[in-house]
Amino acid sequence: MRPASRATGEALARFGRRVTRVVTAPPPAVVEALVAIGRFAAARGWVPATSGNFSHRIDARTIAVTRSGVDKGNLSAQSIAALALDEPLPPGVSAETPLHLARYRADARIGAIVHVHTVAATVLSRLYAADGALRLSGFEMHKALDGVTTHESEVTVPIFANAQDTVALAQSVEAQLGGNPATPGYLLAGHGLYAWGATMDEARRHLEGLEFLLTCTLEERRLQR
């Protein structure tokens, strides 16, 4: 996993023993990575109506996250905020930012988190919500996920009930995920898919792999009717 990258765009001010961190702007490389994943997801129709959100670690204590209500296919530096993991949320960031922060806090190896509102994720998370998970087996695409080397495996994608109190939801999700879950993603019922990775490239591969598996499962259900 990639170590913490350079911490440009931030300033530290010391007041006695207390260190106050002022995060001003994300580094250009982080902005580029977020603009690119936004375009990628928007081109596939995965973030309709300004939905979805994306984040990238800047260093051990700081991340960059997309702002609320912006078109994810047309991101710029102005639509991305930098914030500290352990500070109160600044205004204007995505309402789902607490879900991102909780993942970064739970696993120091996570370098990027991606969240989309796809049709397959939305429909299947409703259909299987009562089961608490979607269990997949036998797909070659399992191998898109970190550590999976064969289709002869089972991939379990947890499903959590959706909630508008995202601070409480983040606590509940993390308590159930247990720090380092086997699958690098989860579903929120009737809402969408979260995925993550050590780098943005890995997070995108996990997102694509999981979304492909969800789409296959949805197609199979249609054919079985």
Q: Exposed, middle or buried, 30 (CB in 10 Å: 0-12/13-18/19+)?
A: buried
SS3 of residue 1 by DSSP: coil
**Judged by CB, which is closer to Zn ion: 141, or 194?**
194
DSSP state of 57: E
List of residues 6+ apart from 178 with CB closer than 8 A: none
Q: How far is the CB of 6 from Zn ion (least distance, A)?
A: 30
Nearest to 55 by CA among 43, 38, 69, 70: 38
Residue 68: φ, ψ to 5°: -75, 140
Strands 53-59 and 62-66: antiparallel
Strands 192-197 and 112-116: antiparallel
**Judged by CB, which is closer to Zn ion: 50, or 215?**
50
Q: How far is the CB of 192 from Zn ion (least distance, A)?
A: 5
Q: Which x/- pattern over 170-199 shows residues binding Zn ion (rule: CB under 5 A)?
A: ----------------------x-------
Q: How many CA atoms lie within 13 A of 36 on its CB side?
A: 12
Q: How far is the CB of 109 from Zn ion (least distance, A)?
A: 23
Contact set for Zn ion, span 33-52 (CB under 5 A): none
The Cα 90–Cα 84 span in angstroms is 10
Q: How far is the CB of 94 from Zn ion (least distance, A)?
A: 8
Q: Evaluate whether 93 touches 83 at the Cβ level (below 8 Å).
A: yes
**Judged by CB, which is closer to Zn ion: 26, or 192?**
192
**Judged by CB, which is closer to Zn ion: 27, or 52?**
52
**Judged by CB, which is closer to Zn ion: 56, or 117?**
117
Q: How far is the CB of 162 from Zn ion (least distance, A)?
A: 9
Contact set for Zn ion, span 46-85 (CB under 5 A): none
# chain residues binding Zn ion, by CB under 5 A: 1
Q: How far is the CB of 96 from Zn ion (least distance, A)?
A: 5
Q: How far is the CB of 191 from Zn ion (least distance, A)?
A: 6
The Cα 218–Cα 118 span in angstroms is 12
**Judged by CB, which is closer to Zn ion: 185, or 192?**
192
Residue 211: φ, ψ to 5°: -65, -40
**Judged by CB, which is closer to Zn ion: 141, or 173?**
173
Residue facing Zn ion at closest CB distance: 192
Residues lying near Zn ion in the complex (CB under 5 A) are found at 192
